[in-house]
Amino acid sequence: MISAEEFDYGTKKVRLIKIRNPYGLKEWNGDWSDNSKLWTPDMKIKTGLEQKEDGVFFISYEDYLNFFYITSICKFGDKGKRNVVFDEH
């Protein structure tokens, strides 16, 4: 996960997670994906949305819980050493 945002969207709150696929080959294509019609111009600016196939995408928290069952978190430490932590839910 790169970041998380919460927005007022009409009468409800929307919680979005920004994720990066480290392989850069696939992205989420549902609601709140790069080309979703749900984005407002203001939300695009606030989140820094870039509409390109780079492996970085947004997904709602609810969709994340429904569609992803394993998350791998990679952290980069000092001197380029990499630590990997696996998390399941």
66-87 pLDDT, tens digit per residue, is 998 877 776 655 555 655 555 5
The amino acid sitting at 40 is T
E strand or H helix at 65, and its extent?
Answer: helix 61-67
Extract the tokens encoding 26: 């696939």
Extract the tokens encoding 12: 């409800």
For the chain, the structural domain boundaries read 3-88
CATH classification of 3-88 is 3.90.70.10, yes or no? yes
Q: Which residue has the tokens 């001197």?
A: 79
User: What pairs with residue 58 in β-bridges?
Assistant: 18
Q: Cα(1)–Cα(17) distance, rounded to whole angstroms? A: 7
Extract the tokens encoding 77: 């430490």
Tell whether the model's pLDDT for residue 89 goes beyond 60.
no
Q: Cα(70)–Cα(86) distance, rounded to whole angstroms? A: 8
Q: What is the pLDDT of residues 21-31, one digit of tens each?
A: 877 778 999 99
